[in-house]
Amino acid sequence: MVGERLREVILRGELQPGEKLHQNRLAEQLGVSRTPLRTALAALADSGLVVYESNCGYRVREFSPEQIRGAFIVRAELEALACTLAAPNMTDAFAQQLFDFVAEGDRLLAGGQLLEDNHAPYREMNVSFHKLIQTIAGNPWIADFVARLHNVPLTSDRIILWEHWKIIHRSHDDHRRIAEALSHGNGMRAGAIMREHVLFAMDYLLSQLNSQSEGALRIVPARANTQNRKTSKRKP
Amino acid sequence: MVGERLREVILRGELQPGEKLHQNRLAEQLGVSRTPLRTALAALADSGLVVYESNCGYRVREFSPEQIRGAFIVRAELEALACTLAAPNMTDAFAQQLFDFVAEGDRLLAGGQLLEDNHAPYREMNVSFHKLIQTIAGNPWIADFVARLHNVPLTSDRIILWEHWKIIHRSHDDHRRIAEALSHGNGMRAGAIMREHVLFAMDYLLSQLNSQSEGALRIVPARANTQNRKTSKRKP
DNA sequence: AGGAATAAAATTGGATCCAAAATGATATTT
DNA sequence: AAATATCATTTTGGATCCAATTTTATTCCT
């Protein structure tokens, strides 16, 4: 829980890669003692977001462009696999949900552009679409690993490149074709589209990384999480 | 480090799945205080070997046969991907190392059977062979995720089914063909063999799980790790 | 006697404390 | 003046302590 907050802080880039994580300072900033902070750090270290060195504490992990590239490649393969596994599990209800997400995307892109106010909703629709396919696939490892890959700064689904209409339009069209293929039970075809869908995002992100400065990449946070609340049991 | 020991204990099956992890007792058994134990538990929880519930502590995670099956399927795909990525990176030195492992397997299997004393060496050769391919592939995510999948009890490379000569012989023959294909730069073909190599292991393990009792599965521990020592800097 | 309510024990989670190690600063020597 | 050595400060890692919650045991009531 303090771990979640730390993860957000790191992924939003508020802590520089390589930066040392000062336990006293961080604990105070987060308003907790060092003990829960350290358990959170241990978990983050295992998940690979921070690195630990004995007697030297934790620091924010640095990712090379090559590692970021590698993350996309594995994600492309895993999400393609999710499509092939999802196909035999398709039901009318699942197909309907997929097309609902596509329809929501259509609505958000209706004006021939993506308005500023629609960035966050589009992002959430995008995340939901991908997650739903992983759910239908029914293999929890895929969802788990894809989530881990999203924990790499810049690889995260927090980041979408909004600038060029043609690219976002094409990306949304991929979604439609994937939904079509899956609803016809054609998992291999859906997987092929998905693989290209992810690999192209990789190429595009890396080209942007090379040209412009990293700071220019837009990070769109989720809206105040009134949704997505997990089970919280409280005494009266 | 205390985490490593705990991981071993759990993977060896000395703690039953679902069993509650008593912090006081465990800390005493491991000869440490509760604080380092709890950081270790937090890390293991993130890596998915134990589950945590607020105010109820940690318990050993249970895996359904379906989850075990899922782990093999993802591992098959990841290791196949490792083959396709490794092919363009092949050098004569890498090819030599692969064939050295194959030759070692030939030696261990020379008598037309796998002697009891050769179980551990064969296991280590097997692990090294697979890891080398992942190293050549040069994508650290693959090695990381495959290692996580090995952290599932029964999916682990700690377990090899030694009983039937024909199966282990065939499995070793897969290794030879994979090495051949990779040394010729044929990553797709190597990947296809690797996928079947892993998926057949899955089928065989699950069939054994259904027929005989789980306790009959042989878990062969690594030999006292004089090798595999990580960097350890000590003051004189 | 069975079940609900209450009390006692145990266990967890967080805070504080302390020793060991690392970092940084100052002094000393060449 | 530069390099080394020594000392002080900071920071980490582990142990202990304490409050809050859960679990277990007991008592009480129907």
Give the separation between CA B3 and CA B11, rounded to whole angstroms. 12
Say yes or no: Cβ of B35 under 7 A from any atom of strand C.
yes
For residues A83 and A130, the answer to whether their CB atoms sit within 8 Å is: no
A51 at interface of B, judged by CB pairs closer than 8 A: no
Q: Is the pLDDT of residue A40 over 70?
A: yes
User: How far apart (Å, rounded) are the C-alpha atoms in residues A210 and A49?
Assistant: 23
**Contact between B42 and A42 using a beta-carbon 8 Å cutoff:** yes
Answer yes or no: is B55 CB < 7 A from strand C.
yes
**Would you call A70 and B44 a contact, using CB atoms and an 8 Å cutoff?**
no
- Look-up of token digits 């990070």: A219
Q: Does A74 touch chain B (CB under 8 A)?
A: yes
Residue B93 CA to chain centroid, in angstroms? 25
Asked if strand C contacts B57 at the CB level, meaning under 7 A, the answer is: yes
Q: Residue B220 and residue A219: Cα distance in Å, rounded?
A: 48
The shortest C-alpha distance from B151 to chain A (Å) reads 12
Query: Which two tokens mark A197?
Result: 């869908």
CA–CA distances in Å: residue A191 to residues A64, A129, A143, A194 = 28, 14, 15, 5
Please report, in tens digits, the pLDDT of each residue of chain B (236 residues total). Answer: 899 999 988 988 888 899 999 999 999 999 999 999 999 999 999 999 999 999 999 999 999 999 999 999 999 999 999 999 999 999 999 999 999 999 999 999 998 888 888 888 999 999 999 999 999 999 999 999 999 999 987 777 776 666 678 889 999 999 999 999 999 999 999 999 999 999 999 998 888 887 755 445 555 655 544 333 333 333 32
The reply to whether the CB atom of residue A36 sits less than 7 A from any atom in nucleic acid chain D is: no
Of A44, A74, A139, nearest to B139 by CB-CB distance is A74
CA Rg value for chain B: 19
| Residue among A77, A139, A145 minimizing CB distance to B73 | A139
User: A61 burial class (0-12, 13-18, 19+ CB within 10 angstroms)?
Assistant: buried
Closest CB to A141 among B71, B138, B140: B71
Of the residues B74, B89, B235, the best mutation for testing chain A's interface (the one with the most A CB atoms within 10 Å of its CB) is B74
Going by pLDDT thresholds of 50, 70 and 90, the confidence category of residue A152 is confident
Structural domains in chain B plus CATH codes: 2-60 (1.10.10.10), 65-216 (1.20.120.530)
CA distance B33 to B23: 9
What H or E segment, with its residue span, contains residue A60? strand A57-60
DSSP state of B54: T
Cβ of residue B23 near strand C, that is under 7 Å? yes
> For A145, which residue in chain B has the nearest alpha carbon?
B145
Contact between chains at A85 and B78 (C-beta distance less than 8 A): no
Under 8 Å CB-to-CB from A66, ≥6 apart: which residues? none
